[in-house]
Amino acid sequence: MSSQLAHHFEDMSQQREASSLGMWAFIVTEVMFFGAVFTAYGICRMMYPNAFGEASNKLSVLLGAVNTGVLICSSLTMALAVRSAQLNKTKSIIGFLIATMILGGAFLGIKVLEYSHKIHEHLIPGLDFVYEGVHAPQAEIFFSFYFVMTGLHALHMIIGIGIMVWLLVLAMRNRLTDQYYAPIEITGLYWHLVDIVWIFLFPLIYLIGRA
């Protein structure tokens, strides 16, 4: 155990608490990061409610909803992976981590599918944007937000999956135990945060102007 205690900490619990606190501070940063773009989106939506509603109808609720489900599943498997580490069950850590990565991959796959639809429909703001009707300029803003927000969210998922590869290596070497599970714990926090961002993204982007 002691080899996993960095020289500058007094004991394992100080080390774990410091990591967890550092991660929470980072989560606050992430909340502000996504929060600012949500604010910008909210203001533009308030200025152009009709245009945003109309543009939103070009998105597929089905794909968005399926992706929400996939992401919630991955959050569950991630939470169970952390739990396995707390209980010292190495095999199930590995199993749940792989499940989380597969679900994350599925989410990104569906995202790619959605993006390719948008490319075919010429809905790429700035570069290739063809939109009929009086709301065209505002719809372009909507799609700018759509790509920035979902793109940044997807980027976070890719980073999360990258970290999980490292965790998988740690788990396979039996390095994640009930004494030392801070890495998987803070990755879990991060992954759930990404889930929460999507929980807000989905209704605000996909489900407006449907009624």
Give the dihedral of Cα atoms 119, 195, 40, 46; nearest 10 deg.
90
207 contributes a contact to other proteins by CB under 8 A: yes
Of 127 and 173, the one with the shorter C-beta distance to other proteins is 127
* Distance between CA atoms of residues 82 and 96, nearest Å: 9
Q: Segment 31-50, which members bind other proteins (CB under 8 A)?
A: 31-40, 42-44, 46-50
| Spatial CB neighbours of 206, under 8 Å, sequence gap ≥ 6 | 56, 59, 60, 61, 64, 65
Give yes or no for residue 91 binding other proteins (CB under 8 A): no
Q: In whole angstroms, how close is the CB of 103 to other proteins at the nearest point?
A: 12
Q: Kindly state the smallest distance separating residue 134's Cβ from other proteins, in Å.
A: 4
CA distance 20 to 26: 10
CB of 82 to other proteins, least distance (A): 8
User: What one-character DSSP code corresponds to residue 4?
Assistant: G
Q: Is 101 in the site for other proteins (CB under 8 A)?
A: no
Indicate the residue among 38 and 115 with the shorter CB distance to other proteins: 38
The rounded distance, in Å, linking the Cα atoms of 21 and 23 is 5
* Burial of 93 from C-beta contacts in 10 A (0-12 / 13-18 / 19+): buried
Verify binding: residue 115, other proteins, rule CB under 8 A.
no
Q: Which of residues 133-192 bind other proteins (CB under 8 A)?
A: 134-135, 137-138, 140-141, 143-145, 148, 152, 178, 188-189, 192
Q: How far is the CB of 162 from other proteins (least distance, A)?
A: 15
Site for other proteins in 49-68 (CB under 8 A): 49-51, 61, 65, 68
Stretch that binds other proteins, among 97-105, 111-119, 159-167, 203-211 (CB under 8 A): 203-211
Angle (nearest 5°) at CA 151 between 57 and 165? 130
5 in contact with other proteins (CB under 8 A): no
Residue-wise burial string across 12-46, b where 16 or more C-beta atoms lie within 10 A, e elsewhere: eeebbeebeeebeeebeeeeeebeeebeebeebbe
Residue 76 near other proteins by CB under 8 A: yes
Supply the minimum distance, in Å, between the C-beta of residue 175 and other proteins. Answer: 17
Identify the residue among 4, 57, 72, 122 touching other proteins (CB under 8 A).
72
